Amino acid sequence: MTQVYVYDTTLRDGTQREGISLSVDDKLKIAQKLDEFGVHYIEGGWPGSNPKDVEFFRRAATMEWQHAKICAFGSTRRKGVTPEDDANLKLLIDAETPVVTLVGKSWDLHVTDVLEAGMEENLAMIGESVAYCKAKGREVVYDAEHFFDGYKANPEYAIATIKSAAVNGADCVVLCDTNGGSLPWEVEEIVRDVAQQLGPKVNLGIHTHDDGECAVANTLAAVRAGATQIQGTINGYGERVANANLCSAIPDVQLKMGKTCVPPENLARLTELSRYVAEVANLDHDDHLPFVGGSAFAHKGGIHVAAMLKNPLSYQHIEPELVGNVQRSVVSELSGRGNLVDKARAFGLDPDSLDLREVLTQIKQLEAQGFTFEGAEASVEMMLRRTHPAYVPPFELIDFSVSVQQRRRRGLSAEAIVKVRVGPKMMHTVAEGNGPVNALDMALRKALLDVYPQLSSLKLADYKVRILDGENATAATTRVLIDSVQDNRTWSTVGASTNIIEASWKALVDSMEYALLQ
C-alpha cells in the first residue's frame, strides 16, 4: 500500500482560528498525542513570531518522539538580504528541529503587490533559502503559498517557483490552496500537471483551506493525482473558517483510497485524539464532525434503525469502531420500534419484557408538547424501565409547593415543600434555596437522604432552559435539560411545561430516580 505522510499544523495554522490560544504546555501535550497517533510531521509554530514558539521548540528538543519529526515554520529570505544575514532563517536553524518548512510566493500578484519584488528575485529568494537550510543539515518542506491561484493566473511562473525549490534540494514541495477557493477537479488537474513537469523524484504535498468547503475533497483530489503528503489540522481548526480536517482526510485516504497514513490499530484512536485536542483547546467538541463526532453514527429515523438491526452497514459508510467511534440510535418523534429495541439493549434491558408501543406513543406525544429526548437518554431509560411489570419506583411524589418571597432584610428567597412516599413511609420536608428549582432540589434530597444516602454524591452539573414558543411571551412552553454527575458518571434528563417549575421538577425527578437505579 502506498504511504501517504501526514503533516499536522494544528499548533501553528490551527491556532490562527479565532477563539484558540494554546499555552506552551498545551502545545506540547497535543504534540505528544499526535506523535502517539502516528503523525509523521508536527509543525510546532513560527520561531520568529513570538516567544511562546521559541520556548516550545526549546522544550521539544529535549523530548523523545516515537514517530513524528518536529518542524519549524518560517518564510524564505527577505528581498535584498542573503540567507546568512536573514534573521528569520537564523531563528529557524536555531530552533534545532530536524525539519524546516519554508513558505514562499507562487502567485505573481503577491510577488509584485505584496513582496514588491522582481519576479527573478523571488525565484532566487526561494532557491537560496532552500539551499541554505539544506546546507545546515535540515530536511526541507517547501510550502508554495497561493499556488493554485498563481497557477491559474500565470502557470509558467507558478511552476518556475516550485522548480526553484526542487532543484535546490527541497525534500517535499507542497502546493497550497491558501485562499481556499479551488475546486476538486481543478486541484486534481493542476497537481497532475505539476507531477508530470517536476518528475517522479520530487515529492508533492497538498495544503488546503476550507473557504469553499472543499478542503478535504481537494486533499483527496491531490492524493489521487500523486501527492504523497497531506497537510491539515485536527478537527479542521484554522484561520477564517477552517483548514483541511485531518480527522476526515486520514480515514478517507486510508479506508476509501487504499493508502496508508497511520498504522491501522492507531486509526481506532482517531475519535479520542479529536476530542482530546478540543478539550485542550477549550472548545466544545462538534458532535456533527464526520467520522469522529458524537452524531457521526447516530441514527434517528425509524426505517434506518430497523434496517441496521438486520445489518449495521445498511446505513453506515464504515464500521464506526475503525475510527474509535460507536453506533447509537436516537429516540425522538421520528423513531420507530427499532430505535427503542436498540436503545433498550444498550441499557441492558430485554426489549421483549417492555411495552415499547406505549413508550413510543408517549415519546411522540411528549415531543409534540416540547420535550426532546435526543440529548436526554436517562429520561428515555426511565420511560422504558417504568413499563416493566416488575418495576417498583424508588419513591413516589405526592405533591409539592414552592414560594418565592422578597423580604426587606433578607432579599429574595425561595422555599419548597415536598411530600413523597418511600415504600410505606411518607416524607414531608421543607427547604430553602437561592431560587425555586434549587429549593425543590434541596427539599427532595432532604426527604430521600435518610433512605438513600448515596444521593449525597449526586451533583447537578448543568441546568439549561429553552423557550420553545417565544411568541406566547410569559405563557410560552419551557424546556429544561438537567445534566447530572455522580462518581464519574454523567447523564441528562428533560422536562417541558408552560410552567418552568413543573418542567424543572420533571427533569429533576428523572435524574434522582435514574441515580438510584444505577
Rounded mean pLDDT, 102-113? 89
Asked if residue 86 is part of any domain, the answer here is: yes
pTM of model > 0.75? no
Any domain includes 437: yes
The CATH number of residue 427's host domain is: 3.30.160.270
Q: Return the higher-pLDDT residue of 518 and 56.
A: 56
Structural domain range at position 482:
396-517
Of 352, 386, 420, the position where a domain reaches its end is 386
351 & 410 share domain: no
Which 3-state string (H, E, C) describes 414-471?
Answer: EEEEEEEEECCEEEEEEEEECCHHHHHHHHHHHHHCCCCHHHHHCEEEEEEEEECCHH
Does residue 64 lie in a domain region? yes
- 292 part of a folded domain: no
Rounded CA separation 73/41 (Å): 12
Q: What is the pLDDT of residues 45-78, one digit of tens each?
A: 999 777 889 999 999 999 999 999 999 999 999 9
Number of structural domains, the chain? 3
CA 341/CA 372 separation, integer angstroms = 19
Strands in 243-335 per DSSP E: 298-299, 328-329
314 and 232 in a common domain? no
In this structure, the answer to whether residues 324 and 433 fall within a common structural domain is no
Q: Which three cell numbers stand for residue 391?
A: 418495576
- Based on the fold, state whether residues 241 and 366 are members of the same structural domain: no
- Given 386, 420, 440, the domain boundary residue is 386
Last residue in a domain, options 213, 235, 262: 262
**Shared-domain flag, residues 482 and 455:** yes
343 & 412 share domain:
no
Per-residue pLDDT averaged across 218-245, rounded?
96
CA–CA–CA angle 242, 170, 152 (5° rounding): 55
Q: Who wins on pLDDT, 18 or 335?
A: 18
Same domain, 338 and 449: no
Residue 166 located in a structural domain: yes
How many CA atoms are closer than 13 Å to the CA of 415, on its beta-carbon side? Answer: 7
Asked if the model's pLDDT at residue 173 lies above 80, the reply is: yes
SS (H, E, C) 460-517: EEEEEEEECCHHHHHHCCEEEEEEEEECCEEEEEEEEECCHHHHHHHHHHHHHHHHHH
Cβ-Cβ contacts under 8 Å for 60 (sequence gap 6 or more): 28, 31, 44, 70, 97
Report pLDDT for 370. 61
Q: Beta strands of 275-410 (E only): which ranges? A: 298-299, 328-329, 396-407
pLDDT digits (tens, 9 = 90+) for 389-446: 777 888 888 888 888 887 776 677 788 898 989 888 898 999 988 888 888 888 888 8
**Amino acid identity for residue 294 in this structure:** G
Split at pLDDT 50, 70, 90, the class of 333 is very low
More confident residue, 407 or 18: 18
pLDDT digits (tens, 9 = 90+) for 448-466: 888 888 888 888 888 888 7
User: Are residues 408 and 469 both part of a single domain?
Assistant: yes
Rounded Cα distance, 367 and 208, in Å: 42
Confidence of residue 141 (pLDDT cuts 50, 70, 90): very high
Residue 170: CATH number of its domain: 3.20.20.70
400/382 same-domain check: no
The dihedral formed by the CA atoms of 36, 39, 41 and 47, expressed in degrees to the nearest 10: -50
DSSP state of 229: E
Q: Does 279 fall in a domain?
A: no
Query: Of the given ranges (75-79, 201-205, 240-244, 334-338), which has the lowest mean pLDDT?
Result: 334-338
Amino acid present at 138: R
Residue 280 belongs to a domain: no
Note whether 321 and 212 are same-domain residues: no
Does residue 306 sit in the same domain as residue 239? Answer: no
Has residue 420 been placed in a domain? Answer: yes
Per-residue pLDDT for 115 more than 50? yes
Residues 365 and 400 in one domain: no
- pLDDT above 80 (res 375): no
